[in-house]
Amino acid sequence: MVLGRQPLWQPLLPAPGGRWQPHELAFDPAKQEWFNVFGAEARRPGEWGHWTGRGMNWNSMCAQCHMTGYRKNYDAASDRYRSTWVEHGVGCVQCHGPVPRGHGAPDPGKKSSTAPFRGDRQLMMQACASCHARHEPLTENFQPGDRYDDHYRVALPVEPGLFFPDGQQRDEDFNWTSVLLSRMGRAGVTCLDCHDPHTTKTILPTARNELCLQCHAAPGRVQPNGTRAVVIDPVAHSHHAEGSAGNSCVACHMPATTYLQRAPRHDHGWLKPDPLLTKELGIPNACNRCHADKPAEWASAASEIWYGAKMESRQRARARAVAAAQAGRPEAAGALLALLKNEDVPAWRATYLGLLAADGDNAAVPAEAVKALRAPEAVERAAAVRLLAGGREPGAALTPLLQDPARLVRLDAAWALAPTLAAGSPERRELEAYLALSLDQPAGRLRAGQDLANRGDLAGAEKEIAQAAAWDPQSPVILDAHGLVLAGLGRPAEAAEKFSRAAGLAPADAPVALRAALALAEAGQWDAAEKMFRLAVARDPRFDRAWYNLGLLLAQRERLADAAEALRRAEAAAPAVADYPYALATVLLRAGDPGGARAAAQRALTLAPGHPGARQILRATP
């Protein structure tokens, strides 16, 4: 078989287990030539993303959107597919739904399979999104007319690598997230306002900006949310001559990125080009895409002259806050909370909540999440559920969400409360159906293992996560999870090996290096443990727990001067933790420095007046 029609064909090669694999060599029908879809990127056999791997498996990754009436039919016990489909390519029922036998005039009281949307253009667009989105499937039975959030989890700019911090597409993300993040999407603009779904062409030419001016010419079309579109004179607005590339709305606000070497796709976020963000954060801008011979400073100066204070917009504030959160900088939480106060785009609110989930020490964060549990949009409620799931006792707040109208939210609540769900309950059955859906992929096996671990079955969890690691041996996330389960099973040497490999594959991850060090220390591998502790603090010089544990290890090995220095670094990084000066006091006392020991013990008592160890040191050092 062949995957695709324009702009490229990928041969599909049969593989054992009912698999079809798209080859990395593809054919360009316009240029009549073969090329490698990965370009200069080398992918090796055995890697998840190699053309023979599960990341490039057609049954799992491609067919749902390229075939009509497709069913994956994966059997987890035999690791085989028995996939079926009704029609090659995208047929009518893919968008209109199946027509039942004996179909006659639609019953006004029922959802018609031939007209499932009943004039609801938002539902129509959600049918488009079932394929034109970067997402995780929650079921495999989406039908036109269904709500997107009942069947998919959309990807948001939370993890770096998928999107740039301002929301521009970075990886192959398709379009739905961009629309959800955009002002135009918020105003009610849909795919059908610009595209003819039967020809895939735009409804008006983009030349001379006709497509955009259908709304933005005077007096400005009234949008679905009741507001009137801003009136724009392209020449005055762009400062470029009519007919030039710089005068094109699409070129500036929907820049194209080429994927698979031959497939250009326009960004659908309708963002303003901002060269200053290129200078600050490395985010590309449309000005320098055209003026590639000029530096970003040149483009930034021009934009400031032309647009002035308009450039200092919410777009910049979002990008800076998201970038700070992704980098783990301490100012990120405050910036995200400030944005939440005035943000009216639900997908951005969900993004902020997803980024705030990493900040468990700020009391304002869970308070915002609790408020978001009542948000009208499922994507925001689900983000709030996931944030609160990391709290100490999420049950009281999340239990009502098990009955949420959106499956996405129900599943996130069920995941958080999995240990309390009764076997055979509707909530448990829905969660298990979701988990079973992706058992053909490493991420699915990982989730199945995590579910077993959450319910106390560590042996079963280890089996599932080991399978995930075998399928994707280059994933630091899977290796880290495997290490955690092995540590829970009392197998520290094996856990240390997994953590160490994860640390090697994630060169900026300090916590996984700490976990490797702790497991190595528990296994009695002192030299290797010290190296990992030092790797952790090299990656994050203010990582107080790593400095503290390094100090304890050095003290245990009678290297008291080095231990004292490490413990001082821990206290400097986190001066409110009483155990750090207390540990330092014990080391100084052993090193023959009673004055230093007494001073450190006094600092511990100031922080924790009832600290028994610190009191004992004070009694021992007159």
pLDDT-derived band at 108 (thresholds 50, 70, 90) equals very low
- Tens-digit pLDDT profile for residues 516-567: 999 999 999 999 999 999 999 999 999 999 999 999 999 999 999 999 999 9
Cα dihedral across residues 328, 330, 335, 341: positive or negative? positive
Task: Count CA within 13 A, CB hemisphere, residue 174.
Answer: 16
The pLDDT value given to residue 112: 46
The pLDDT value given to residue 323: 97
Q: What CA dihedral angle connects 543, 546, 548 and 550, to 10 degrees?
A: -140
The pLDDT value given to residue 101: 59
Give domain status of residue 70, yes or no. Answer: yes
The pLDDT value given to residue 115: 61
SS3 state of residue 614: helix
The pLDDT value given to residue 226: 87
The answer to whether 114 and 107 are in contact (CB under 8 A) is no
More confident position, 311 or 227: 311
166 Cβ contact list (under 8 Å, min separation 6)? 271, 274, 277, 283, 315, 316, 318, 319, 322
Task: Give the helix ranges, DSSP H, for 525-593.
Answer: 526-539, 544-556, 560-573, 579-590
The pLDDT value given to residue 500: 98
The pLDDT value given to residue 358: 74
The pLDDT value given to residue 97: 85
Residue 102 has pLDDT above 60, yes or no: no
Mean pLDDT calculated for residue range 347-372: 90
Strands 80-81 and 152-154: unpaired
Give domain status of residue 276, yes or no. Answer: no
Mean pLDDT calculated for residue range 273-293: 97
Residue 297 has pLDDT above 80, yes or no: yes
Give domain status of residue 23, yes or no. Answer: yes
The pLDDT value given to residue 118: 77
538 Cβ contact list (under 8 Å, min separation 6)? none
CA distance 314 to 302: 20
Give domain status of residue 115, yes or no. Answer: yes
For the stretch 437-472, what's the b/e string if a residue is b when 16 or more beta carbons lie within 10 angstroms of its beta carbon?
Answer: bbbbbbbbbbbbbbbbbeeeebebbbebbbbbbebb
Give domain status of residue 76, yes or no. Answer: yes
- Which pair of tokens denotes residue 142? 């989406």
Give domain status of residue 467, yes or no. Answer: no
Q: How many domains does the chain have?
A: 1
Count CB neighbours of 555 within 10 A.
21
- Tens-digit pLDDT profile for residues 308-324: 999 999 999 999 999 99
Question: What residues make up the domain containing 91?
Answer: 2-101+108-149
pLDDT-derived band at 113 (thresholds 50, 70, 90) equals very low
Label residue 225 exposed, middle or buried (CB < 10 Å: 0-12, 13-18, 19+): exposed
pTM over 0.75: yes
36 Cβ contact list (under 8 Å, min separation 6)? 24, 25, 26, 261
Give domain status of residue 562, yes or no. Answer: no
Q: What is the SS3 assignment for 20-73?
A: EEECCEEEECCCCEEEECCCCCCCCCCCCCCCCCHHHCHHHHCHHHHEECCECC
Residue 111 has pLDDT above 60, yes or no: no
- ω into 7 cis (within 30 of 0): yes
CA distance 103 to 115: 12
Percent of the residues in the chain that have a pLDDT greater than 90, as a whole number: 89
Give domain status of residue 78, yes or no. Answer: yes
Q: Mean pLDDT in the chain?
A: 94
